[in-house]
Amino acid sequence: MTGSNKGIGYAIVRGLCKQFKGDVVLTARNEDLGKKAVQSLNEEGLSPKFHQLDITDQASIGRFGDFIKNTYGGIDVLVNNAGIAYKNDSTAPFGEQAEVTIKTNYFGTLAISNALFPLLRPHARVVNVSSMSSSFAIRKCSPEIQAKFMNPNITEEELTHLLNDFIQAAKNGDHEKKGYPNSAYGMSKVGVTVLSQIQHRQLSADPREDIILNACCPGYVDTDMSSHKGPKTIDEGADTPIYLALLPEGVKTPAGDFVAGRKAHKWNEYQYTP
Ligand code: NAP
């Protein structure tokens, strides 16, 4: 579980501790915050393990990968939940917001996936926590840009190139002229949703049996990220990610889907209803 010292990630750990037959590792980039989170789950009678993990730090990713390999030899469930969002009233330049947000939400998710996918066991489940913001953002792209992101054969290199192009345009101040929307977070989550489809294709072709990856939207949730404006509790937000993390062996769907409210949706057409 990435980014699980608070918010939806914390609630996913809580739910998995109750339902998953095996160790659940709560990770946090800040060790003190992570250990405090473990302590508060201990007070509920739950016993997650802890390991430090910053998904933007290659050394931290390496240490976490070694810990998993040496302690468990493999991994049954990976939930890529860690993410950031600038506040709407942030005064940081838009180019900086684009670069920093995509560095964590897209490049961080890609980096931890690349490190841990070799450790996935047969029947493993991977859940990428994306957002309805990816649906809003893709619809605001020009038809030309939409077509590039929606190409069913898009490669990881092409996706990375497109997101870097968005960052460069955001820095130059001409991203809207080039057909991109004015949302750094939205574009970072377009990255996560499209990356999930690419990763699904890769894992479907993998010789290891029955590994399923889905992207999801947790809904609009009462967390620090939403400035506590979301109506859902963190446990309600954790429901779909936990459902996907625990998909039973041999299920055929959802797989490679964008899932919200436990249902698969066409991500570019998805309309969020609370
Ligand atoms: P949150 O309360 O702000 O929690 C985000 C978590 O990610 C925190 O634990 C944070 O750690 C961690 N994190 C950030 N950068 C990290 C990094 N580089 N390495 C490791 N961990 C990192 O937000 P949330 O609302 O629970 O969001 C969880 C996920 O749901 C995110 O992917 C978000 O985009 C998505 N989402 C949320 C909503 C919503 O309404 N809240 C809606 C749609 C999607 P720190 O405590 O150190 O910052």
pLDDT in tens, 206-260: 999 999 999 999 999 999 999 999 999 999 999 999 999 999 999 999 999 999 9
Residue nearest to atom 16 of ligand 1 (CA): 82
d(C-alpha 241, C-alpha 155), whole Å: 25
* Pair of tokens at residue 225: 């990220």
Q: What does R_g of the chain's alpha carbons equal in angstroms?
A: 18
Which distant-in-sequence residues (6+ apart) come within 8 Å of 232 by Cβ?
218, 219, 220, 221, 222, 274
In this prediction the pTM is 0.98
Which pLDDT does position 120 carry in this prediction? 98
193 lines ligand 1 (CB under 6 A): no
- Cα separation, 266 vs 152, in Å, equals 13
Cis peptide, bond prior to residue 241, ω within 30 of zero: no
Q: Whose CA is nearest to atom 19 of ligand 1?
A: 54
pLDDT tens track for 16-56: 999 999 999 999 999 999 999 999 999 999 999 999 999 99
The answer, yes or no, to whether any atom of ligand 1 lies below 6 A from the CB of 81, is yes
Structure tokens at 220: 């609009």
Q: Over 80: is that where the pLDDT of 274 sits?
A: no
